[in-house]
Amino acid sequence: MSDGWWFQQGDERVVWQGRPRLSAALGSVSIGVVICGLAVAAAAIVDPRLVAGSVLGVGIAAWAVLRVRRTEYLLTTRALWLKRGVAGRTVRRVGLQKVQNTAYNQSITGSAFGYGTVTIEVAGGRDLRFRRIDDPETVQTAIVDRVGSGDEEIPGSTAQWRSVLRLVREIRTAVE
């Protein structure tokens, strides 16, 4: 899915990637269809040249579909990414250390058809929303798991940490 719009740091890997459902464009496509219908009706009743107004309706519908198809979401082991834009491109990266809270919601139709929106509260910035994605609960869980786990490993082995614990207990006994 990536066309070079996100950069990878070190051993960073993709955990989840997705995009909005095409149904996200349904409202604007409906408006475009109505405009086309009105233009054709006006052309038939008033002046045949008014059929050119249907170009506006087609343009609105096409723009809505392109806007949805050019939106991508990405969760990596280090960050959340959002890319969108038809004529231009906007890319937003939020490091997992800046994630404060997450939530997901589903409308009635979203619950019936398995889609929803995941909202990520970001420290010191605007919230990030992954809109109309499939299985939002699983995506939210994946984000929470990444935020909670961190990339840093605890240094040392279990045996080394048991040795440290034994020394601390000896020091405590000596002090008491």
Global pTM? 0.73
Alpha-carbon torsion 8, 9, 10, 11, what sign?
A: negative
Q: Is residue 121 part of a domain?
A: yes
pLDDT per position as a tens digit, 36-91: 999 888 888 888 888 888 899 999 999 999 999 999 999 999 999 999 999 988 99
Mean pLDDT throughout 129-147? 92
Average pLDDT (141-167) is 80
8 within a domain of the structure (yes/no): no
Domain span at residue 85 reads: 14-175
Q: Is residue 96 part of a domain?
A: yes
Determine contact, residues 96/147, Cβ cutoff 8 Å.
yes
User: Is residue 155 in a domain?
Assistant: yes
**Mind listing the pLDDT tens digit for each residue in 89-119?**
899 999 998 999 999 999 999 999 999 999 9
The yes-or-no verdict on residue 2 having pLDDT over 50 is no
- What CATH number should be reported for the domain holding residue 115? 2.30.29.30
Q: How far apart are CA 131 and CA 47, in angstroms?
A: 42
Q: Quick: pLDDT tens for 5-20.
A: 888 888 888 999 999 9
User: Which is more confident, 2 or 129?
Assistant: 129
Structural domains in the chain (count) = 1
Instruction: Please indicate, yes or no, if residue 2 is contained in any of the structural domains.
Output: no
